[in-house]
Amino acid sequence: MIKTKNETANEQWDIVINADKNKGISINWQELWQYRDMIWVLIRKEIVAAHLQTVLGPLWYVGKAVIMALTFALVFGMIARVNPTGVPHMLFFMSGLMFWEYFLNCMNKTGNVLRENKAIFEKVYVPRLAFPIAKLVAGLVPAFFELMTLVVAYLIYVFWVGSPVRPSWGVVYIPFLFLIIGGIGSSLGLIISALTIKYRDIAMLISYSTRLLMYTTPIIYPMQIVPKEFLPYLSLNPLAAIIDYGKHFLFNIPVYCTTTPLYSVGCLLVIFLIGIFLFNRVERDFVDTV
Amino acid sequence: MGNIVVQAENVSKKYKIGRLNADTLKDSIKHKWNRLFRDDEEHFATHEEDFWALRNINFEVERGDIMGIIGKNGAGKSTLLKLLSRITSPTEGKIKMKGRVASLLEVGTGFHPELTGRENIYLNATILGMRESEVRKIEDEIISFAEIEDHIDTPIKHYSSGMRVRLGFSVAAHLNPDIVILDEVLSVGDADFQRKSMAKMRSIAQSGRTVFFVSHSLNSIQNLCNKAIYLKQGQLIESGLVDDVVDVYKSTFKISTDVEVKNHITFNFDDAPGNELVKLQSAYVKAKDKGLDDPINMSDDIEVSISFWKLVEEGKFDVGIQVFDIERDLQILGSNSHMCELLDEIKTPNSRINFQTIIPKFQLNASSYYLNIVISDMEKKAIIFNAYCIAKFTIENITHFNKYRFLTKSRGIIRPLLNWNINIEK
């Protein structure tokens, strides 16, 4: 009799704080849903706060995309001549950079999430995963502007310059490619944020590794010019398929990558699970150690 | 049973001190290497030391309880608050709660300087667990309580620090949770706003919510709370009704003064406290015209007597007394004899001098007091001898001093008998 009473009482507790640290790779979706308004406010904060002090606001993304693509077009397209695809240099580099920048943005922002919001986490309980989610969504804004810049540049090349380049029907998949590459970036960010909490010198390693990753990703060169014996190895990079297929969809040029975006999705899942696992491990008690 | 909304079972929290974590990857690898291939595990183990900030804490809180948490610095109060607010997790045990919890350990959590006051209200309130639609409803209330109507659409980087804390407090005060965790630091701002914020906290506490309140001020605790828990070095010493717990806590203050201190004391010349200038011979506090051991009532004149040896020929020495309330550790009076000239004339070394004074009746409230003696050189303007807590005395609570009038202890510090004029208008 008493026992059943206790059991029903136990079910009524809304919050149970216990010593169980091993949350594995579970995500408390219900809690994230309860905090959906906060996530929305955080997204708005990210977007608004990034532009309040700048005169040009989001126009900076346009300028940055154009200037970076110009530099790359000059150095790698016209001097090093690494672009034999027939796609105009500007469009070629702009498309690669667009994906890369979004990836980098997601990874770096998520990687900083615990440190950046330490002041909040020390004073109030919020589901910490909400912050990377906000970063992921807010990062779509600059990516959108870069995509628009590419679209405008594309139109100029097609209708003004009279370039023969045309997209393939697969261009409708571009948003999915963004999701995959942003997901990989954010998942890596989760791993980084968990590791940098424990080991401060990881941050140095990360900055080297990102540079290395950029050179092994077909951004500043097409997969076309990669020697055949290296192709399978370079294709192991989950970003390679995304960018090679992205360019295939955008410019209807042949695919050289030996892996497909499905492989990238597989990698994304693995990295994501590792990321959640590590993040769960540190998020609860990291305020004690930092 | 069903009214219990917070239940803590064997809650413990362990911190590692000395070495919080492996600072660098290198350290960590070295540590693992040593573990695997060497036997000097001890070498590393000595770096780490366990520190239990909380140990086996058990308590239950019923709906509507206002629970004060008291204890000295480092007793584990903040750790308990952090656990209750889920900022960090316990090492052992668990805490169960019913309803929505808001922890207000800080005002303005998450404020972003580039955003306007209004945007920050939404940011802060949603971080504290509110829905956006709820914030919209009470937005105007928050703004007017914070008294910043004119600046609400200005980025808060242009706010004064006072405006920021007012806005932060205002958001916190308008939350609507079932369980509130309050830190005393919340009463903020200038004196005016402090009064307002304290009043608001009181009304939050009295609106039927369950509240945890941490403060160093026992007065605030007793004013606000109905229950309390007393922590000492991570252990729960006492829990229950607030007055009982506060009494237990207060009793720990007294220990240092309780040891063998009576209302009178006499020393032999050889082991008397003092220095090369003076030596204390004796001191007592008693009711005038009564014996040394008789109780002192409020209606008694209190006789204070101090005798000491003056060891040197020269010296304009003067004697002063300080009377402290033990419970409050507060000085109630201080007085000097102002007769140093007289003392200078005593040229015989080792002469014994007695000072006596009367603290008139109906001055001190019924309470326990201790006496400090201060002997100073008035010429050099320096204290030459200081006897802390040399005597302890208690003034009894109830005194009937004539047929119709009697005195009992009041809440005040002094209990004077005032002259009253009574006019009866017909």
Backbone angles phi, psi at B408, to 5 degrees: -125, 170
Residue B187 pLDDT > 70, yes or no?
no
Tens digits of residue pLDDT in B110-139: 788 888 889 899 998 998 888 888 899 989
- Left, alpha or beta for B362 (phi > 0: left; psi -120 to 50: alpha)? left
Tens digits of residue pLDDT in B368-400: 898 989 888 887 777 888 888 888 888 887 656
The whole-angstrom separation of Cα B342 and Cα B54 is 60
* Segment of B13-17, B264-268, B401-405 carrying the highest mean pLDDT: B264-268
Residue B46 pLDDT > 50, yes or no?
no
The whole-angstrom separation of Cα A210 and Cα A224 is 23
3-state secondary structure A112-135: CHHHHCHHHHCCCCCCCCHHHHHH
| Mean pLDDT of the region A202-212 | 86
pLDDT value of residue A7: 44
Residue B52: CB atoms within 10 A of its CB come to 17
| Mean pLDDT of the region B296-302 | 86
Those of residues 151-190 in B touching chain A at CB distance below 8 A are 155
Terminus-to-terminus CA distance in chain A, angstroms?
A: 48
Residue B318 tokens read as 């003067």
B160–chain A nearest CA distance, Å: 20
| Mean pLDDT of the region A175-204 | 88
Q: How far, in Å, are A103, A207, B88 from residue B22 at the CA level?
A: 30, 21, 20
Residue B251 pLDDT > 70, yes or no?
yes
A264–chain B nearest CA distance, Å: 29
| Mean pLDDT of the region A255-272 | 91
Q: Does domain B4-254 have CATH number 3.90.1150.10?
A: no
Q: With CA atoms as reference, report the closest residue to B180 among B99, B121, B107.
A: B99
**B110 touching A, CB under 8 A?**
yes
Instruction: State percent of chain B over pLDDT 90.
Output: 6
B37–chain A nearest CA distance, Å: 22
Residue A184 pLDDT > 90, yes or no?
yes
Which residue do the tokens 């005060």 mark?
A: B173
Tens digits of residue pLDDT in B152-169: 888 888 888 888 888 888
| Mean pLDDT of the region B271-280 | 83
The whole-angstrom separation of Cα A228 and Cα A221 is 15
Instruction: State percent of chain A over pLDDT 90.
Output: 19
Residue B20 pLDDT > 80, yes or no?
no
Least confidently predicted of A5-9, A117-121, B144-148, B286-290:
A5-9
Helix (H) / strand (E) element for B230: namely: strand B227-232
Q: In this complex, do B106 and A124 lie within 8 Å of one another by their Cβ atoms?
A: yes
| Among A17, A38, A202, beta carbon nearest to B86 | A17
pLDDT value of residue B170: 87
Residue B248 pLDDT > 60, yes or no?
yes
pLDDT value of residue B399: 59
Q: Dihedral of the CA atoms B257, B263, B267, B272 (nearest 10)?
A: 40
| Mean pLDDT of the region A226-248 | 89
**Contacts of B118 by beta carbon, 8 Å cutoff, 6+ apart:** B139, B143, B152, B153
Those of residues 78-107 in B touching chain A at CB distance below 8 A are 82-101, 103, 105-106
- How is chain B split into domains, by residue range? 4-254, 264-407
| DSSP character at residue A24 | T
| Mean pLDDT of the region A125-138 | 88
| Mean pLDDT of the region B77-99 | 86
* Segment of A245-254, B177-186, B256-265 carrying the highest mean pLDDT: A245-254
| Mean pLDDT of the region B412-416 | 81
Radius of gyration of chain A (CA): 22
Residue A181 pLDDT > 90, yes or no?
yes
| DSSP character at residue B277 | S
| Among B23, B114, B123, beta carbon nearest to A41 | B123
pLDDT value of residue B250: 75
Q: Which residues of A touch B (CB under 8 A)?
A: 5, 9-10, 12-19, 21, 34-35, 37-38, 40-42, 44-45, 48-49, 52-53, 117, 119-126, 198-202, 284-285, 287-289
Mutation for testing the B interface, residue in A199, A200, A281 having most B CBs under 10 Å? A199
Which residue do the tokens 């370079």 mark?
A: A234
Q: With CA atoms as reference, report the closest residue to A221 among A111, A92, A108.
A: A92
| Mean pLDDT of the region A257-282 | 90
Q: What is the band of B224 on the pLDDT scale with cuts at 50, 70, 90? A: confident
| Among B93, B127, B155, beta carbon nearest to A120 | B127
Residue B303 pLDDT > 90, yes or no?
yes
Tens digits of residue pLDDT in A159-180: 888 888 888 888 899 999 999 9
Q: What is the band of B257 on the pLDDT scale with cuts at 50, 70, 90? A: very low
pLDDT value of residue A53: 63
**Contacts of B43 by beta carbon, 8 Å cutoff, 6+ apart:** B34
The whole-angstrom separation of Cα B264 and Cα B292 is 8
pLDDT value of residue B405: 63
Residue B413 pLDDT > 60, yes or no?
yes
Taking CA atoms, what residue in A is nearest to B121?
Answer: A41
Least confidently predicted of A81-85, B88-92, B176-180:
A81-85
Residue A223: CB atoms within 10 A of its CB come to 24
Residue type for position B150? D
Tens digits of residue pLDDT in B195-221: 777 777 777 777 778 888 888 777 778
Q: What is the band of A262 on the pLDDT scale with cuts at 50, 70, 90? A: very high
**Of the CATH numbers 2.70.50.60, 1.10.10.60, 2.70.210.12, 1.10.3720.10, which one belongs to the domain with range B264-407?**
2.70.50.60
Size of the A and B interface in Cβ pairs below 8 Å? 130
Residue B41 pLDDT > 60, yes or no?
no
Residue B80 pLDDT > 80, yes or no?
yes
Residue B23: CB atoms within 10 A of its CB come to 13
B21–chain A nearest CA distance, Å: 7
